[in-house]
Structure 1
Amino acid sequence: MLEWCTLKPCFSVGSGVVVVVVVVVVVVVVVVVVVVVVVVVVEIVVEAAVAVVVVVVVIVVAVVVVVVVAVVVVVAVVVVVVVVVVVVVVVVVVVVVVAIGGGRRRMEEM
């Protein structure tokens, strides 16, 4: 491979070294670009995954809050209905007792 040159410049050894250096530089540049692209893509994917997890957690918390509020509303409605029924029953009992008591007095007066 080594040529002995007399008058003209000898490029055989030097050109081989240049080719090797160029190939090494190109390979290094390609590897660096690939690594940077992979890092950026992984970062984007991780950020997207974190965003998805945050959205899912927010949705789950919202659903739990809605369910808890619905249960509280149902319990409140049941309590109100029970109170209304108790009040109506007490009023009816009082009215019946008063009516029976008033009827007995009238019969006794006669």
Structure 2
Amino acid sequence: MTGTTNLLCYLLVLVVVSEVFAVVVVVVIVVVVVGGEGGGRGVIVVVVLIVVVAVLVVEEPVVVLLVVVVAVVVLIKEVLVVAVVVVVVVVVVVVVVVVVVVVVTVLLVLVLLVAVVVVVVVVIVKVVIVVVYQVVVTIVVVVVVVVVVVVVVVVVVVVVVVV
């Protein structure tokens, strides 16, 4: 018999000798490998139990090898699901950290801009106050000088006229 025929015979022996075991293997393949999002520890425990039963009960090495291959595929799939979840969590954490850093940086820049605006306004107000003060002082000095000159002229005129 050829190798393929031998394999088919071994699979037939698996179905005939241990139908329940074959059904369990098929269910695990369909549920976990084909259609699920991963069952976590429960699936891993079931797979390990299937391998142990296969090693202890089934006498055909090819059947045990088939069970071990299915178990490895299931376990790899479970590990990949966990790895994908870990990668997604890491990506989400990195994105959140980057967003927080960007937001904090933008807020710091805004605070600095507000501080610069406040400083500029204070400087402008001080300059305006100084200029207004100088103008007022100049006007008061001019008015005082004019009043003094007028008073002096009036006094001189009165003195000259009276004398």
How would you bin the TM-score normalised by the shorter chain? 0.7 to 0.9
Which of these residues, 90, 95, 112, is aligned with residue 55 of structure 1? 90
Tell me the equivalent position of 1:79: 114
How many angstroms apart in 2 are the aligned matches of 1:66 and 1:26? Answer: 58
User: CA RMSD of the aligned region, Å?
Assistant: 1.7
Tell me the equivalent position of 1:29: 64
Tell me the equivalent position of 1:39: 74
TM-score by length of 2: 0.51
Q: Any unmatched runs of 5+ in structure 2?
A: 1-12, 18-58, 146-163
Identity value in percent: 55
Show structure 1 runs of 4+ deviating over 6 A: none
How many angstroms apart in 2 are the aligned matches of 1:53 and 1:105? Answer: 77
Which of these residues, 78, 88, 97, is aligned with residue 123 of structure 2? 88
Q: Any unmatched runs of 5+ in structure 1?
A: 1-19
**Higher relative contact order at CA 8 Å, sep ≥6: structure 1 or structure 2?**
2
| Paired positions, count | 89
How many angstroms apart in 1 are the aligned matches of 2:80 and 2:144? Answer: 95
TM-score by length of 1: 0.75
Decide which moves more: 37-46 or 64-73: 37-46
